[in-house]
């Protein structure tokens, strides 16, 4: 896992990401195996019969080890950043290489007249080609999320989009129009958008449990799918409109402290992003889980005057073990 976040300020936005990559292996815990044995009948001689497939089903993928360093925060153009969590490679290519290839393929990335929605559509199409090629070589592909953060200078406003690749297998290739990447624009009143190993941050910001702003878009999307409505009958921005509707913000979020984060200075946004990262990293010390957040922390800002600018984690510094 990882931790990525974008924190919106009045005159810009702070973006943060860690650099650990967690590898998983199928693991069978001793207690799980014993509990399973207790459910099995014994023969007259006290023996228990087990078949290989039954034992295999007891193994669960769990974090096994981590390694550093993986790029997870990228500059798309002067006013747009991308952070990523989930699988570190698609089609045998690191995410940073895919993003860089996309950047190299576009000669007009700094043209601010092109809507951000078109940029995201182009990016999704580019990544989808890599996904489909990946599935021609491998049976399945894991989950990956891109948070795309754009600062619109003409109106001094931050827009945040979350593009999600869900777990899929090779069967999806049978449908040439299969939609691998789905993008949702976060509601304007949501000032902190994070993902990855973010349960602690969500609990701090929204209270215990999965935040409604994550549940609601998926819930509405599933309802629309199950209704099997004619194509084109639902406006493309229908979910965005609901998320920004005053009714929902008052009914569901009237008591949420996050609504008070609408007037952060850029310095406060940087401090809050760093605090959330610190919470995620430090809390791991008190659990038995393999640490999955940490390594080199990258922090960047986007503001009106300077656009995208790294403020931490992007420079080589003197070694910690040698005094110079």
Q: Is 221 exposed, middle or buried (0-12, 13-18, 19+ CB in 10 A)?
A: middle
> What's the pLDDT tens digit per position in 16-43?
999 877 655 677 888 888 888 888 888 8
- Inside any domain, residue 230: no
Q: Percentage of the chain surpassing pLDDT 90?
A: 44
Q: Which tops the pLDDT comparison, 215 or 5?
A: 5
Q: What pLDDT is recorded for position 73?
A: 95
Number of domains in the chain: 1
pLDDT digits (tens, 9 = 90+) for 81-90: 999 998 888 9
The confidence band for 311, taking pLDDT boundaries of 50, 70 and 90, is very high
Q: What integer best gives the mean pLDDT of the chain?
A: 85
Residue 190 lies in a domain: yes
Residue identified by tokens 């995410």 is 95
Task: Please give the C-alpha separations between residue 225 and each of 143, 181, 220, 221, 244, in angstroms, as whole numbers.
Answer: 21, 16, 9, 6, 21
Is position 285 within any domain? yes
Q: Supply the pLDDT for residue 222.
A: 80
Selected residue with higher pLDDT from 54 and 243: 54
Domain membership flag for residue 275: yes
Lowest mean pLDDT among 118-122, 218-222, 266-270, 293-297: 218-222
Between CA 277 and CA 301 the distance in angstroms is: 15
pLDDT of residue 323: 66
For residue 296, give its domain range: 3-26+63-196+262-312
Examine residue 49 and state whether it is found in any structural domain, yes or no: no
CA 201 to each of CA 281, 283, 321: distance values in angstroms, whole numbers, following the listed order: 11, 11, 32
Give a yes or no: residue 300 inside a domain: yes
CATH number of the domain at 266, please: 3.60.20.10
User: Among the residues of the chain, which ranges form H helices?
Assistant: 30-38, 52-56, 95-105, 116-137, 199-206, 212-227, 238-244, 246-253, 266-283
Q: How confident is the model at residue 203 (pLDDT cuts 50, 70, 90)?
A: confident
User: d(Cα 91, Cα 168) in Å, to the nearest integer?
Assistant: 14
pLDDT of residue 40: 87
At 211 the pLDDT is: 54
Query: Binning pLDDT at 50, 70 and 90, where does residue 252 land?
Result: low
Q: Cα(160)–Cα(82) distance, rounded to whole angstroms?
A: 10
**Residue 73 placed within a domain:** yes
CA 174 to chain CA centroid, Å, is 27
Q: Which pLDDT band, with edges at 50, 70 and 90, does 249 fall under? A: low
Residues with Cβ within 8 Å of 11's Cβ and at least 6 positions away in sequence, in order, are 156, 265, 266, 303, 304
Answer yes or no: is 38 within a domain: no
**How sure is the predictor about 187, in pLDDT bands with cuts at 50, 70 and 90?**
confident
């Amino acid at each position: 896992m990882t931790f990525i976040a974008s924190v919106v300020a009045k005159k810009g936005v702070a973006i943060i990401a860690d650099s650990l990559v967690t590898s998983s292996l199928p693991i069978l815990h001793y207690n799980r195996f014993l509990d399973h044995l207790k459910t099995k009948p014994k023969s007259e001689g006290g023996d228990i019969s087990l078949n290989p497939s039954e034992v295999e089903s007891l193994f669960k993928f769990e974090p096994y080890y981590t390694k550093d360093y993986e790029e997870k925060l990228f500059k798309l153009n002067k006013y747009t950043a991308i952070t990523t969590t989930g699988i570190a490679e698609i089609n045998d290519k690191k995410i940073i290489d895919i993003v860089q290839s996309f950047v190299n393929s576009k000669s007009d990335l700094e043209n601010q007249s092109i809507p951000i929605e078109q940029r995201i559509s182009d990016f999704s199409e580019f990544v989808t080609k890599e996904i489909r090629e990946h599935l021609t070589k491998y049976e399945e592909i894991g989950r990956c999320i891109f948070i795309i953060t754009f600062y619109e200078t003409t109106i001094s406003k931050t827009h945040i989009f979350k593009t999600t690749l869900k777990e899929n297998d090779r069967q999806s290739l049978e449908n040439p129009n299969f939609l691998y990447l789905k993008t949702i624009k976060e509601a304007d009143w949501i000032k902190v958008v994070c993902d990855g190993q973010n349960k602690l941050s969500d609990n701090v910001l929204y209270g215990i449990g999965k935040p409604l702003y994550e549940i609601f878009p998926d819930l509405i999307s599933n309802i629309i799918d199950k209704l099997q409505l004619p194509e084109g009958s639902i406006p493309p921005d229908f979910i965005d409109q609901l998320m920004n509707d005053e009714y929902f913000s008052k009914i569901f979020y009237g008591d949420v402290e996050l609504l008070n984060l609408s007037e952060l200075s850029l310095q406060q946004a940087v401090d809050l992003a760093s605090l959330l990262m610190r919470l995620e990293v430090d809390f791991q010390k008190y659990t038995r889980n393999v640490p999955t957040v940490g390594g080199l922390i990258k922090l960047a800002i986007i503001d009106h005057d300077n656009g995208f600018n790294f403020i931490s984690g992007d420079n080589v510094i003197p070694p910690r073990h040698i005094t110079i």
